[in-house]
Structure 1
Amino acid sequence: MTFTYEALPMRVVFGSGSLRQLPQEAQRLGLRRLLVLSTPGQRALAEQAAALLGDACAGTFTEARMHVPVEVAEAARAAARATGADGCLAIGGGSTVGLGKAIALDSGLPVICVPTTYAGSEMTPVWGLTEHGRKRTGRDRAVLPRSVVYDPDLTVGLPVDVSVTSGFNAVAHAVEALYAPDASPIVSAMAEEAVRSLGTALPAIAADPLDTDARADALRGAWLCGACLGATTMSLHHKLCHILGGTFDLPHAATHTVLLPYVAALNLPAAPEADQSLRRALATDDVPDHLARTSAALGAPRSLSQLGLTEADLDEVVTQARAQPYANPRPITEPELRSLLRDALNGTLAP
């Protein structure tokens, strides 16, 4: 057996009440003027973090948006310069983490992350920016957060529907990591455990949103899913999600949730080891069917049409998807791609 695995330098603080350790994490990194980032909806949480930082807070920027529009990134970069920030604290979900990465990409400022969803992007050097209806992504060690503070208590108030789609978004990272061209036994072990954790935790959260053990399990699973994404190459699933988000502004986590069973149905027959790993993790003989049924049973959207995509949009998605190469366990023809998208649009899982 031969493989290559390059571990990413990452410090993680995990546990109930970990938010209170923010001042120590800033001090450990030598940061004295942090710009606190959030979405408008999490302004109160940003202010709580700012209060904990005290004199180490340079200000707040609470206009983070999904898919990181370039104009928002530029405004946040300007805020960082104006406040003399020597680092950023991103508190929230993938939108806020992505904004922190956009600032780091431009300035090199270190980022501390406090995730409040299960996106997993805080564990990766992957960045994304949306401009003129196109989402560009890339990898750069400069955007990798220096410290990640996981406090399960901050996810207890996350609504069940958001918890479910956020969790399936994370699962998609692990699924693609299992059949990535640069997969390794280390990544595969993390991916299988991550899917097992989320596969158990999400139904428990739906049954009791206040189940703190399930919340912690889901956050741990999301951490592992993000680490898998950070260590491997993205394939068809992520390619399509970036197009659907960047060009059509579809909600990020929900788009991942809807598409995942369809891409899995297309790819897993060409990736038998990944299929077996997912069967063990989910305790099923049919992974795509299990993903579709479970997400629907937990109240997630079942079709891209529910998210706002139309039949007329498919040509543009196909054109963009075929314009640039991407890693995938099997080649995908244009008719297959169009069929997958049409099935996902209508919510009927392909056989």
Structure 2
Amino acid sequence: MRDFVYNAHPARVIFGSGTLTRLPEEIERLGLSRVLVVATPEQDADARRIKDRIGERAAGIFAGARMHTPTDVTAKAMEVVTAERIDGLVAVGGGSTTGLAKAIALRTDLPQIVAPTTYAGSEMTPILGETENGRKVTKSDPRILPEVVIYDVDLTLTLPVAMSVTSGMNAIAHAVEALYAREANPIVSMMAERAIAAIAAALPIIHDRPDDRDARSEALFGAWLCGVCLGSVGMALHHKICHTLGGTYNLPHAETHTAVLPHALAYNADAAPETMQALRRALSTEDPAGTLFDLSRTLGATMALERLGLPERAVDEVPDLILANPYWNPAALDRYALRRLVANAFSGHRPSAG
């Protein structure tokens, strides 16, 4: 076995069904008395129910979280944090809500309790992607990592099928890149392979039976592992492309990851033979990139970036944006090859075997 370094991040995880009932005791355990509940505008009613559940320790609600964590939204939330003398954060929702809580924690070091309702996985990472002036910048800091994560399978039972599919594929993307990351190690790779297998098997069941508790549990468990993978090792081309598309063109996060993943994987296939071997085992296929594309499309995901709102000019712009500030990647970054990747994802063409 080759030498490796494994960094574990401290976080308290509570996993199961009905576990959100433990939220008040977790707030008490952390010694918090003026908690801010964070949500998106669409989740305002949910946030109010959470506030009622918390009781007198809830000092307010900020239901203004937005996709890609714009810094102007964070600034508005910080005004509430200051005015209400907030000493802790509760985020119940998807990646947008978690992102805002993380952005506040980065600026204040306030403790966070996160209860995910999707399979985003970002709750398990000390990583934050913030957008300002059309540019998304990724930061890593111990203050960003939530102190407590409550995984309640019940919260995912009503997650719409379309969102379940793209959120699950987004999680798989974290694990795929963890397999070929520069800091890859046997511990993270073991989790990544298990996570990919769990989510890939669960999503077709969720598609047919959205209230299947066992499938939802497997998907949420896999998302947890994918998040650990994302937080433990670096990111590569796939995440660079998606950060560029999201920050510059405001494309939807999970849907973009879903459409790009097969193409980024095909790009790196020849340079990452061990990753491809692990994916063949996890997905029971000889063509992992094509299989992920087919699985997503069969489950109803949009596989053409054009249909997600990407302008055609981006096919030429994105490669230059990537090369201007590239992430490490197992395969060398070549502008012609990158343009072909983006063009195929733009049109929704199935990637070649790899």
Same fold, judged at TM 0.5 (above): yes
Q: Deviations over 1:127-170 (max 9, x none)?
A: 11111110111100101000000001011111000000000000
Q: Deviations over 1:98-153 (max 9, x none)?
A: 00010011111111101000000000000111111101111001010000000010
Are 2:149 and 1:148 aligned? yes
Q: What residue in structure 2 maps to residue 158 of structure 1? A: 159
Alignment of 1:176-325 (within 5 A): 176-325=177-326
Deviation (angstroms), 1:310: 2.2
- After the TM superposition, which parts of structure 1 deviate over 6 Å for at least 4 consecutive aligned residues? none
Q: What residue in structure 2 maps to residue 63 of structure 1? A: 64
Letter in 2 for 1:74: A
Deviation (angstroms), 1:222: 0.3
Q: Deviations over 1:52-96 (max 9, x none)?
A: 110111100001000011110101111111111101111100000
Which stretch has the larger CA shift, 120-129 or 25-34? 25-34
Alignment of 1:14-33 (within 5 A): 14-33=15-34
Indicate conservation of the 8 Å contact 2:120/2:170, yes or no.
yes
Letter in 2 for 1:331: A
Indicate conservation of the 8 Å contact 2:290/2:351, yes or no.
no
SS at match of 1:311: coil
Within 2, Cα distance between the matches of 1:24 and 1:292?
Answer: 43
Deviation (angstroms), 1:316: 2.4
SS at match of 1:91: strand
Letter in 1 for 2:279: L
Within 2, Cα distance between the matches of 1:186 and 1:264?
Answer: 21
Within 2, Cα distance between the matches of 1:282 and 1:44?
Answer: 39
Unaligned runs of 5+ in 2: none
Q: Deviations over 1:149-208 (max 9, x none)?
A: 000101111100000000000000000000001010000000000001101111110010
Within 1, Cα distance between the matches of 2:190 and 2:77?
Answer: 38
Deviation (angstroms), 1:320: 1.2
Within 1, Cα distance between the matches of 2:316 and 2:139?
Answer: 25
In the superposition, the TM-score normalised over structure 1's length comes to 0.99
Letter in 1 for 2:117: T
Within 2, Cα distance between the matches of 1:222 and 1:27?
Answer: 27
Within 1, Cα distance between the matches of 2:107 and 2:290?
Answer: 42
Deviation (angstroms), 1:236: 0.4
The alignment of Structure 1 onto Structure 2 pairs a total of residues equal to 351
In the superposition, the TM-score normalised over structure 2's length comes to 0.98
Within 2, Cα distance between the matches of 1:106 and 1:168?
Answer: 31
SS at match of 2:313: helix
Within 2, Cα distance between the matches of 1:328 and 1:76?
Answer: 36
Are 2:26 and 1:10 aligned? no
Deviation (angstroms), 1:325: 2.8
Letter in 2 for 1:155: T
